[in-house]
Amino acid sequence: MSCDLLASLSARFTWIDWSVVLGYLALTTWLGTALAGRQATIRDFFLGGRKLPWYAVSGSIIATEISAVTFVGVPYVVFNTGGNFTYLQLGLIGNLLARVIVGYVLVPAYYKREVYSPYDYMGNQLGGNVRGVASALFALGGVLAQSARVYLTALVLTVVLSDQLGWLADHCGGGPLAWAIILITVVAVAWTLIGGIATVIWTDVLLFLMFVAGAVVALATVAANLDGGLAGLFSAGWYARETSAWWDWGKFTLFDFETTWPAILTKPYTIWAAVIAATWGGLGPYGTDQLIVQRMFCCRSARHARWAMITSAAGLLVTVMVMLVGVGLYAYYRQSPPDLAPEVARHPDFPMLTGEALTLFNREPNRIFPIFIVDVIPIGLKGMLIAAIFAAAISSLTSILAALSQTTMSACYLPLRQFLRPTAALDEARAERHAVRAGRVFVLFWGAILALMAYVAAGMTTHYPAILDLALAMAGFTGGALLAGFLLGFLPLRVDGWGYQFAAPLSVLFVFAAVFHAPWSFWVTCPAGAALLVWWLVATWTYRPARPPVLPVLLQTALLVVGIAAMILVNYRGYFGVNSPDQSGAVTYDILSWPWYVPLGSVTAFVLAWLLANRRATPTPCPQ
């Protein structure tokens, strides 16, 4: 990327804009610290003492969901040629239904006892290694999903901080993108360390208010720069119609009634994905993902937690606003530009994209909104919008850091400490202080891991049409296995978690196999499947509990072999059909779209974990 081009744009970000950004960050830090209070115990650090109001938790859930991916990625999805509002149907139908189910079914189950994560609940219900396996899956999915969000925000900072990041790269090594990631991570780690989950939630509320204001300012500004203003925005969006069908409203098309195979499963934004996949899949992030569930645990009661979850659907209003911004960007860049020299290059579809903006857009189209902010929006307001984008990224990152730290503590550190040095041998106050310090160490550890993975995420962007799809897809690889773990413990099946430790990894591999069909992926699925089978054989004949299995052990082994073989076959051949070779002769495959990741993974994990399990003893009835 040309440093001169970035420097030219970043020079338009003045000291006034910087004052807005830094002033907002300082104010948020001070208020979040003051509202959080003192964190004396691990219960305070990870659950906020279970005394936080539902409206604060609701705002925090919204802030965590939206993130910089929504604020920057959604406008690009709508702006792009062929883009429209079909992404919104997932939230209006599927995600809303999933919130209601979580609020009335999962929340009461969690509040029956004091647990710190859904994985504690699964471990209590199923025993064995379930809590450790589920915590590891959450960590993997969380790191994958949030690394994409950090990467996108870092791209924004490379536009705004070109000179400063370039100076760091020249004098300290690395590149501007790496230093942008480090900057985001340092701020997020600092906010998380200050006061645990309480600080995270209160700063989330302030961040949420900031990017609501930012969305309003962005929409008003882009409308002010259009011929015809807001009416011109709606007119341009409507006349982007491609067919005469009654549901084709141009950029405002909301529903996609796709009926052809395999497009039903390979297109991400269809009515079937909204009604089936998004509802089913939404139970995963809203009900079993510690990133969201940890906030519900901070409420005073199950009723307050339910209200916080359901009212968080109000975040769809922010999504609608940033989608309208995408329509506005589409209309703005399709206007006739002022007279320019004949040799000045213009984008064929968006003639207002010229010069530096055109070059940056061609190299990374997802940056269209940041380019507009720095290039067009007035001084002061652009500082507010960059602060909103930065706030959205920090909100998501502080959330995942708190959640990863907590699950690591519950699954690894606390059991190990109890084994090596029982709590009874320690002064209670001293033990609590030690646990809080350990929690902060884990925050630092996971901050470093996320920064590294955010840099790696750059290589994944070519596999998805937009960074929005990349970020939403990453958590889906493990979300199905987590949902299956909850259902195994919640439903009256009378089985233990023995089979889950084998079925959950296989479900992740199954989703991977359905998405990646390149030759290199075959060398991932085959060794992984073989290792899983060896693990089963060793564990079954060496460590298996004495309880009777659901099915004979030989039949269970055969079922596992069939599952592994099916996963490898899906990866090798693809099951959605083979497309014609492209110009280079390479064969491409129709791949499973990301809303279906969780349904596929949950069915695979649930069925196989049930069949591979042992029976639990039936409780002895109480004497009359």
Q: Is residue 624 a part of any domain in this protein?
A: no
The number of C-alpha atoms within 13 Å of 340 and in the hemisphere containing its C-beta is: 13
Amino acid letter for position 127: G
3-state SS string over 552-583? CHHHHHHHHHHHHHHHHHHHHHCCCCECCCCC
Q: How far is Cα 560 from Cα 391, in angstroms, rounded to an integer?
A: 46
Q: What is the pLDDT of residue 100?
A: 93
pLDDT tens-place string over residues 314-339 = 888 888 999 999 999 999 988 877 66
503 and 469 share one domain:
no
Is the peptide bond prior to 108 cis by the omega test (within 30 degrees of 0)?
A: no
> What pLDDT is recorded for position 463?
65
pLDDT digits (tens, 9 = 90+) for 571-595: 876 655 545 445 555 555 567 888 9
Q: Are 118 and 356 in contact (CB under 8 A)?
A: no
Mean pLDDT for 407-433 is 66
Q: pLDDT band at residue 193, thresholds of 50, 70 and 90? A: confident
What confidence tens digit (pLDDT) does each residue in 66-87 have?
A: 766 777 788 988 998 888 999 9
What 3-state DSSP class applies to 346?
Answer: strand
Determine the Cα–Cα distance for residues 246 and 114; give it in Å rounded to an integer: 52
Q: Are residues 381 and 509 in the same domain?
A: no
Evaluate whether 473 touches 597 at the Cβ level (below 8 Å).
yes
d(CA 544, CA 532): 15
pLDDT: which is higher, 304 or 417: 304
- Please report where in the chains the tokens 């999903």 appear, as a residue: 145
Q: Does residue 623 lie within any of the structural domains? A: no
| Cβ atoms < 10 Å from Cβ of 106 | 24
CA nearest 505: which of 531, 469, 544, 467? 531
Q: Quote the pLDDT of residue 619.
A: 45
CATH at 187 = 1.20.1730.10
Q: Are residues 384 and 490 in the same domain?
A: no
- pLDDT for residue 561 is more than 90: yes
507 shares a domain with 391: no
- Tally of domains in the chain: 2
Assess contact for 385 and 186: CB atoms under 8 A. no
Among residues 440, 474, 508, which one ends one of the domains?
474
Helix axes 130-160, 54-68, angle to 10 degrees: 60
pLDDT digit string, tens, across residues 452-483: 888 777 666 666 666 677 777 887 889 899 99
Q: Are 162 and 280 members of one domain?
A: yes
Contacts of 624 (CB under 8 A, 6+ apart): none
The top-scoring range by mean pLDDT among 74-78, 167-171, 355-359 is: 74-78
State residue 623's pLDDT score: 41
Closest CA to 187 of 35, 39, 401, 37: 401
**Cα 89 to Cα 80: distance, rounded to the nearest angstrom:** 18
- Phi and psi at residue 14, in whole multiples of 5°? -85, 180
Q: Which domain holds residue 551?
A: 479-618
Judge if 445 and 541 occupy the same domain: no
pLDDT over 60 at 8, yes or no: no
Q: What is the pLDDT of residue 488?
A: 92
Instruction: Report which of 253, 231, 266, 298 is spatially closest to residue 53, judged by C-alpha positions.
Output: 298
Which of 428, 459, 474 is at the close of a domain? 474
pLDDT at 599: 93
Q: How many angstroms from the chain centroid is the CA of residue 191?
A: 20
351 to each of 37, 254, 334, 348, 355, how far by Cα in Å? 53, 27, 6, 6, 11
pLDDT band at 300 (very low <50, low <70, confident <90, very high): confident
For 94-121, how does the pLDDT look when each residue is reduced to its tens digit (9 = 90+)?
A: 889 999 999 998 888 888 876 767 888 8
Instruction: Indicate the pTM of the whole model.
Output: 0.80
- Report yes or no on 145 lying in a domain: yes
Residues 438 and 369 in one domain: yes
Residue 24 DSSP code: H
Distance CA 487, CA 483 (A): 6
Q: Which of 418, 442, 474 is the last residue of a domain?
A: 474
Q: Is the Cβ–Cβ distance between 372 and 386 less than 8 Å?
A: no
- Amino acid identity for residue 497 in this structure: G
Residue 421 main-chain phi, psi, to 5 deg = -150, 90
Rounded CA-CA distance 403/188 in Å is 13
| pLDDT value of position 620 | 39
Asked whether residue 579 falls in the same domain as residue 498, the answer is yes
Q: Given a cut of 50, is residue 4 above it in pLDDT?
A: no
Check the CA dihedral 139-145-150-151 and report its sign: positive
Distance CA 596, CA 254 (A): 19
Mean pLDDT of 189-207: 70
pLDDT in tens, 265-277: 888 889 999 999 9
pLDDT of residue 309: 92
Strands (E) across 133-272 are located at none
Structure-model confidence comparison of residues 48 and 108, the more confident one: 108
Looking at the structure, tell me whether residues 72 and 16 fall in a common domain: yes
Tokens linked to 100: 């209601």
Is the pLDDT at 175 greater than 60, yes or no? yes
* Helices and strands in the chain: count of H runs, count of E runs: 30, 0
Per the prediction, the chain carries an average pLDDT of: 79
Tell me: do 157 and 30 sit in the same domain: yes
pLDDT for residue 439 is more than 50: yes
What does the alpha-carbon distance between residue 412 and residue 417 come to, in Å, rounded to a whole number? 9
Residues 563 and 461 in one domain: no
Q: Is the pLDDT of residue 244 over 60?
A: yes
Query: For 500-540, what is each residue's pLDDT tens digit?
Result: 999 999 999 999 988 887 777 888 889 999 999 999 999 98
